[in-house]
Amino acid sequence: MVNVMHRLEVELARAPGLEGRDAVAAWAARCPALLASGVALPAEIPGWVSERGAGSDLFRVLVESAQGGDGWALSTLLVCLGRGLCGLAGQIGVPVDEVVSEATLVVLDFPFARRRTVPGQLLLDTRKRFSRVGERERLRETPSGDTRVLDDREAPGDLGVDSSAADRLSGLVVRAWRRGVLAEDLARLVLETRVWGVSVNDAAARRGITAKAVYDRRQRAEARLAEVSL
């Protein structure tokens, strides 16, 4: 099965020429090293980073742009981190798609204060998220019920309390649901496990399916969200 990292690489390769060039030009205006590199398209950036290396300046620009809603920046950043994310997936024994999903949330909520090495810190924060998620799965009690509607975004979940990333993800999911991009149950599944504080096991029990099926459905839903956000 093709994982989400491969799909991201394909998407970058197929980026419309003018749109891709405009995106790179906007990043280069804030990153002198990228400006001097001669790189013109998003798909060229991961190779340039791999061959020549890149300081944190480029990654800061990509993270800031992704947090501002730039889908090409998010995809480019994830592909640049691809080797590290795939290695992390192997080390902790989870699918690459799940690691990429967690890394996406790390990017959207990444704080720059006291952070010096951005790419390394992104990978470290992604690893830490799996440790925290595992602890919550062991300790969380089964909620008695959930009467929230899709527009309710107040309860803390994987993204934490008062999180701008949670708000951005909620907004994206609700808009996708209203536009018919996501079915209601898939939209609710993402919100339950990412924002509302419902564990994957509890979400599975509510639907009469396995936890693996919940992960698979959520990964497909989030991949669809990533596609429509570009």
Q: Please tell me the predicted confidence (pLDDT) of residue 43.
A: 93
Angle at 215 between CA 142 and CA 213, to 5 degrees: 90
Q: Please tell me the predicted confidence (pLDDT) of residue 184.
A: 80
DSSP 8-state secondary structure symbol assigned to residue 140: P
The answer to whether the CB of 175 falls within 8 A of the CB of 165 is no
pLDDT higher than 90, residue 30: yes
pLDDT higher for 50 or 132? Answer: 50
Domain segments of the chain as ranges: 4-137, 142-229
Cα(4)–Cα(6) distance, integer angstroms? 5
Query: 3-class SS at 32?
Result: helix
Which residues have a Cβ under 8 Å from the Cβ of 15 and sit 6 or more positions away? 23, 41, 42, 43, 72
Q: Please tell me the predicted confidence (pLDDT) of residue 66.
A: 87
pLDDT higher than 80, residue 23: yes
Q: What is the mean pLDDT of residues 88-115?
A: 79
Beta strands in the chain (DSSP E): none
What's the whole-model pTM score? 0.60
Cα(109)–Cα(107) distance, integer angstroms? 5
Give, to the nearest 10 degrees, the angle between helix 56-67 and helix 71-80: 140
pLDDT higher than 90, residue 27: yes
pLDDT tens track for 7-18: 888 888 888 788
Identify the CA nearest to 107 among candidates 158, 79, 66, 164.
66
CB atoms inside a 10 Å sphere around CB 64: 15
Which residues have a Cβ under 8 Å from the Cβ of 184 and sit 6 or more positions away? 150, 177
- Which range, 59-63, 198-202, 220-224, is most confident? 59-63
The gap between the terminal CA atoms of the chain, to the nearest Å, is 23
Q: Please tell me the predicted confidence (pLDDT) of residue 144.
A: 37
Question: pLDDT category, 137, cuts 50, 70, 90?
Answer: very low
